Structure 1
């Protein structure tokens, strides 16, 4: 049996690591939102008692694609988000109108009319 070279066990080169850091910094805005969506997907799967394979089947995509979704590094298309919302029965993105605001509590997130809308 041939011996494996030491190269195959080496740690990533600093250039590759640095490229990833630069990429993450340049894309941090949408990566943060993608991570939020990924956590919401995982929560919905847990609530439904589904695994990633079941979600893949329901969406008609590969299990590898679902793994990309839940890693928090997927640049989601709106079409994909809508499919996920429909299959999971959850809202992944909320778009507020000018007279709404987000109110956070420890138990739930709720949309409330802003005080300015009452006048």
Structure 2
């Protein structure tokens, strides 16, 4: 007799193949820029906390949507130098330098 947990898992399993291995491989292949992207996100989060700002506030300062700010804060944006510069100018902080110093 199967346990309730096994029965539940069997009843609710997905018919689709898991992407876990592919996702892990992608994260490993992109680890370097993902690490830097997270550091930029942390710098922005620190700025938000220090200034009592919400995602909407940051979006307004940068001239972007709150959804894009959420994407930035996820730490999974492959930034261009132009984007880094726009963030630094819009917020008046040096996120690129903060990211480089912690590397």
Q: Give the structure-1-normalised TM-score.
A: 0.66
Q: Identify which of structures 1 and 2 has the higher relative contact order when contacts are C-alpha pairs closer than 8 Å and 6+ apart.
A: 2
**Cα separation, partners in 2 of 1:15 and 1:79, compared to 1, 3 Å:** same
Q: Stretches of 4+ moved more than 6 A in 1?
A: none
Conserved 8 A contact 1:45-1:88: no
**1:45 equivalent in structure 2:** 48
Answer with 1 or 2: which has the greater Rg: 1
User: Can you list the C-alpha shifts for 1:57-100, whole angstroms capped at 9, x where unaligned?
Assistant: 12111111000101101101111111111122211123xxxxxx
Shift of 1:10: 4.1
Q: Which has a greater percent of helix?
A: 2
**1:60 equivalent in structure 2:** 63
Gaps of 5+ in 1: 1-8, 95-101, 105-119
Gaps of 5+ in 2: 1-11
**CA distance, structure 2, for counterparts of residue 89 and residue 30 of structure 1:** 23
Let me know the Cα RMSD of the aligned residues: 2.4
Q: Which has a greater percent of strand?
A: 1
Q: Give the structure-2-normalised TM-score.
A: 0.75
Is residue 89 of structure 2 the alignment partner of residue 86 of structure 1? Answer: yes
